[in-house]
Amino acid sequence: MTRTDVKICGIASPSDYDVCADAGVAFVGMVFYARSPRHLSFERAALISQHAKEQQQSGPKRVALTVNMDEVEMTRMISFADPDILQLHGDETPIQAEKLKARHGLPIIKAILVASADDLAVCEEWGGVADWLLFDAKGDPGGLPGGTGHRFDWSLLANHAGKTKWMLAGGLSVENVGRAVVTTNAKAVDVSSGVESAPGKKDPRLIHAFVSAAQIG
């Protein structure tokens, strides 16, 4: 059995965190983007993080997803949410990411939006800066940068030889995640809308089923 790490993005409550921990999830994402149906206030994120730290056993790493957040707001968010990892899902540059790492001492996940092989060329710029890359599908122009259920051609990653660890995202579900892992050889996968009963409403049954489906023989 090959172990595939799972990230459940867009959790909304301590109970969501507990479901993810019970399912064996490696990462949970807290979204800070006002246009998203999964957007959290800093205060709600603080409740999740405080709850996580009170557990006797270590659970999923807490990832703070931001989109072009300015430095003042980033510092404030970190003081409330106390994440383990920062996820940059906008137009952030490697230079900006290096400054964030130096200032806050947190690992970085950088989202790369993919529609064609040309979109992978930027990966080299992030070598040595990002701790993880997250390959997500490009959505509609002007639309949300993630969590839309869009997917891209997974075969584009079949021969990806980059040195930076990476996760696969974009339109994953219980039904297709096993095939996605086989096609791409992804060691980690990220899902949001694919484990929801409604936008922003995580479904415990789907979370458990997704984690099971991500594990391949």
pTM, two decimal places: 0.93
Cα distance between residue 27 and residue 214, in whole Å: 14
Question: What was the pLDDT predicted at 138?
Answer: 84
Cα distance between residue 157 and residue 185, in whole Å: 8
Q: How confident is the model at residue 216 (pLDDT cuts 50, 70, 90)?
A: confident
Cα distance between residue 159 and residue 86, in whole Å: 27
Question: What was the pLDDT predicted at 140?
Answer: 57
What's the mean per-residue pLDDT of the chain? 93
Burial of 113 (0-12, 13-18, 19+ CB in 10 A): buried
Question: What was the pLDDT predicted at 60?
Answer: 98
3-state secondary structure of 114: strand
Question: What was the pLDDT predicted at 162?
Answer: 85
CATH number for the domain that contains residue 125: 3.20.20.70
For the cut 60, the answer to whether the pLDDT of residue 33 exceeds it is yes
Check: CB of residue 27 under 8 Å from CB of residue 61: yes
Question: What was the pLDDT predicted at 160?
Answer: 87
Question: What was the pLDDT predicted at 151?
Answer: 84
Quote the number of domains for the chain.
1
> pLDDT per residue over 56-98, tens digit each?
889 999 999 999 999 999 999 999 999 999 999 999 999 999 9
DSSP string, 191-211: ESGGGEEETTEE-HHHHHHHH
Distance of CA 194 to the CA centre of its chain: 13
Distance of CA 53 to the CA centre of its chain: 20
Q: Measure Cα distances from 191 to 119, 149, 177 in Å.
A: 21, 9, 9
3-state secondary structure of 85: strand
Distance of CA 33 to the CA centre of its chain: 13
Question: What was the pLDDT predicted at 168?
Answer: 97
3-state secondary structure of 146: coil
Range of the domain at 101: 5-214
For the cut 70, the answer to whether the pLDDT of residue 170 exceeds it is yes
Cα distance between residue 41 and residue 43, in whole Å: 5
- Sort residue 24 into left (φ over 0), alpha (ψ -120 to 50) or beta: left
> pLDDT per residue over 108-164, tens digit each?
999 999 999 999 999 999 999 999 999 999 865 455 555 556 789 999 998 888 889
Amino acid at position 146, single letter: G
